[in-house]
Amino acid sequence: MLTLTSILSHPESSHLEGKSAKGGFPDSFWESYSAFANSDGGVIILGVEEDKDGKLIVNDGLKDATKMKDTFWKLVNNRQKISHNIVLEKCVYILDADDKQILVVEIPRAERTVRPVYKGSDPRNGTYKRFGTGDHLCTAEEVGAMLRDSSISPLDAVVVEDIDLTALNMETVRGYRQMFKLTNPSHLWNTLDDEIFLRRIRATGAAQDGKYHPTEAGLLMFGYEYEITRRFPQYFLDYQEDRNVIGVAKWKDRIVSTSGDWSGNVFDFAMKILTKLQSDLKIPFVVKGFQRVDDTPLHRLLREAVTNCLVHADYYGRQGIVVSKNKDGFVFANPGGMRISKNEALAGGVSDPRNATLLKMFSFIRFGERAGSGLNGIVYVWKKVYHTEPEIFVKEEYDRTFLKLPTLGKEPDMEAMAEFYPDEDEPSNKQSVNDLVNVRSNDPVNANDPVNVTANDPVNTNDPVNVRANERLLVCISKNPYGTYKEFALLLGKSPATIKRMLKQLREEGMIRRIGADKNGHWEVINNQSDK
């Protein structure tokens, strides 16, 4: 519940709207309700006005706040007035301002499955979004995008019946299959012919004519650009390097899907631009076994960012995908807003890709693994390695999502980067950068805490410091039984080798046990003697 002070200390904004309601319950309330629900949520206050500085003030307040509140509940459940009631009872309340009263209505961001939330009975004429301090009536195109996103089933699994398999570039398919074989050398699908293989990864599907045709995901992943645009007229892929807009725009390097000298599909685009995005990355000297590791955490992070951009794009949307690289960092922009809130995305563990079938194809070759923590992992690792703040935002007026990874001309912190290399002897050898930060304590590790100052010392369970560390490790295990040495090391501020010794000690003392194999099993805390 908001306080009167917190409300009156701010002007109207993209999340706050004030209305005087002097003439009764304002009809414009429902435009703001729709706008907040279809954007990122917000608060509407009835009984306030703007002063000369634009801040909300209480002049007369409401004549009868209780009656106004009852009117709200009556109208919000009237489908002729508004399409969905998404407000909880506790989010509608009356606040006292001296001898006056105001009504506060907190409106959440609507789940995509109920969007668009619209005023009246026609979504084409009653759907709004919030831009700045105003409510914007959505175009038919914007309403259509929300309706597409409201589907429970992955849209890119739809079979494109008017396009046959000749629309697919078999060179691209062969390149993908080579990567599939490298990452899955013993997989049964490696022995299949191309036609059956494409069915298995859902790149093709059976249509009503009894024949197999590309799915939308298969067309995007493997198709020729001129065939893709038959289905997605706005489809466009653009890579820009060191763009200079002085007079005439020039680039050090540029790749576009319309050039005609390559396939123009999503897979080949990813392969082409990753080489360029990663070309200037500093590679620290790290040896695993007897081989140098040139695939750094930053290489994996950029793969994740490219995959994230491609699988979350609305390929029916305008302006296409634009990936840019310059001396100040990287920018990834794709059509389509975020299907979950920014806070949910940054928290990790939740994924709602717009193109789930496309994501699955990428995950087969270890791109975008564990995508629920993708954005969370990207932001965490980038901040650690470059000491700069990534930006994630949506331009609602363009229905476009941006991820900015700034370097500000800085070199990566090699010592920080070393933390994100997976250890050879960890239980799982399939980690991505996201796995290292997927489960983290809400409390940051304090380097001055006595628990952490013995990070590289042998474990002595009789030492009070190590007893505390063991207790924290047991908590970590109970929260994340599938955790790895690296994850627990990050949480406790210790080295993976120390964590390994601690786990061994706890296991020998009968406090934990391993369920299943080293690579695919998990830890279990033994709570009492009967469990041993």
Using one digit for the tens of pLDDT, what is the confidence trace for 218-246? 999 999 999 999 999 999 999 999 876 55
Copy the structure tokens of residue 136. 């914007």
Write the CB contacts of 526 (distance below 8 Å, at least 6 apart in sequence).
510, 511, 512, 513, 532
Q: In this model, does residue 204 exceed pLDDT 50?
A: yes
The label of the residue with tokens 């000297």 reads 285
pTM: 0.71
- Select the more confidently predicted residue: 388 or 434: 388
The CA distance from 200 to 210, in Å, is 17
**36-72, pLDDT tens digit by residue?**
999 999 999 999 998 888 888 888 889 999 999 999 9
Mean pLDDT of the chain: 83
Longest dimension (CA), the chain: 80
Task: Summarize the confidence of residues 199-214 as an average pLDDT.
Answer: 94
Please report which confidence band the pLDDT of residue 527 belongs to, taking 50, 70 and 90 as the band edges.
low
Write the CB contacts of 8 (distance below 8 Å, at least 6 apart in sequence).
48, 55, 56, 57, 58
Annotate 450-510 with DSSP letters as a single string: HHHHTTTSPP-TTSHHHHHHHHHHHHHHHH-TT--HHHHHHHHT--HHHHHHHHHHHHHTT
**161-180, pLDDT tens digit by residue?**
999 999 999 999 999 999 99
Q: In this model, does residue 480 exceed pLDDT 80?
A: no
Q: In this model, does residue 445 exceed pLDDT 50?
A: no
Please report which confidence band the pLDDT of residue 266 belongs to, taking 50, 70 and 90 as the band edges.
very high
The CA distance from 146 to 116, in Å, is 6
The CA distance from 291 to 22, in Å, is 75
The pLDDT value recorded for residue 158 is: 93
Q: In this model, does residue 393 exceed pLDDT 80?
A: yes
Task: Summarize the confidence of residues 337-359 as an average pLDDT.
Answer: 83
The pLDDT value recorded for residue 284 is: 59
Spell out the domain ranges in the chain: 4-149, 165-416, 439-531
Lowest mean per-residue pLDDT among 139-148, 393-402, 494-503: 494-503
The CA distance from 278 to 282, in Å, is 9
The CA distance from 165 to 198, in Å, is 10
**293-326, pLDDT tens digit by residue?**
567 888 889 999 999 999 999 999 988 999 999 9
The pLDDT value recorded for residue 490 is: 65
The CA distance from 105 to 99, in Å, is 20
**17-39, pLDDT tens digit by residue?**
999 999 899 999 999 999 999 99
- Select the more confidently predicted residue: 145 or 289: 145
- CA-CA distances (angstroms) from residue 199 to 64, 165, 218? 64, 11, 10
In percent, how much of the chain has pLDDT > 90?
51
Copy the structure tokens of residue 381. 């690792």
Q: What is the CATH number of domain 165-416?
A: 3.30.565.60
Q: In this model, does residue 485 exceed pLDDT 90?
A: no
Domain 439-531, CATH 3.40.50.970 — does that match? Answer: no
The pLDDT value recorded for residue 504 is: 87
User: Which of 137-146, 286-295, 433-442 reaches the highest mean pLDDT?
Assistant: 137-146
Q: In this model, does residue 287 exceed pLDDT 60?
A: no
The CA distance from 372 to 347, in Å, is 9
Please report which confidence band the pLDDT of residue 442 belongs to, taking 50, 70 and 90 as the band edges.
very low
The CA distance from 284 to 453, in Å, is 26
- Select the more confidently predicted residue: 373 or 18: 18
Task: Summarize the confidence of residues 79-100 as an average pLDDT.
Answer: 93
Task: Summarize the confidence of residues 88-94 as an average pLDDT.
Answer: 94
Q: What is the dihedral of CA 15, 19, 24, 25, to 10 degrees?
A: -10
User: Which of 138-152, 194-208, 243-257 reaches the highest mean pLDDT?
Assistant: 194-208
Burial 385-394 (b: 16+ CB within 10 A, else e): bbebebebeb
**182-192, pLDDT tens digit by residue?**
989 999 999 99
Q: In this model, does residue 486 exceed pLDDT 80?
A: no
The pLDDT value recorded for residue 491 is: 66
Task: Summarize the confidence of residues 440-454 as an average pLDDT.
Answer: 36
The pLDDT value recorded for residue 361 is: 95
The CA distance from 321 to 238, in Å, is 6
The pLDDT value recorded for residue 362 is: 94
Domain 4-149, CATH 3.20.20.450 — does that match? Answer: no
The pLDDT value recorded for residue 280 is: 82
Please report which confidence band the pLDDT of residue 405 belongs to, taking 50, 70 and 90 as the band edges.
very high
Task: Summarize the confidence of residues 263-272 as an average pLDDT.
Answer: 96
In percent, how much of the chain has pLDDT > 70?
84
- Select the more confidently predicted residue: 495 or 102: 102
Q: In this model, does residue 409 exceed pLDDT 80?
A: yes
**439-531 shares the fold of 165-416:** no
The pLDDT value recorded for residue 245 is: 57
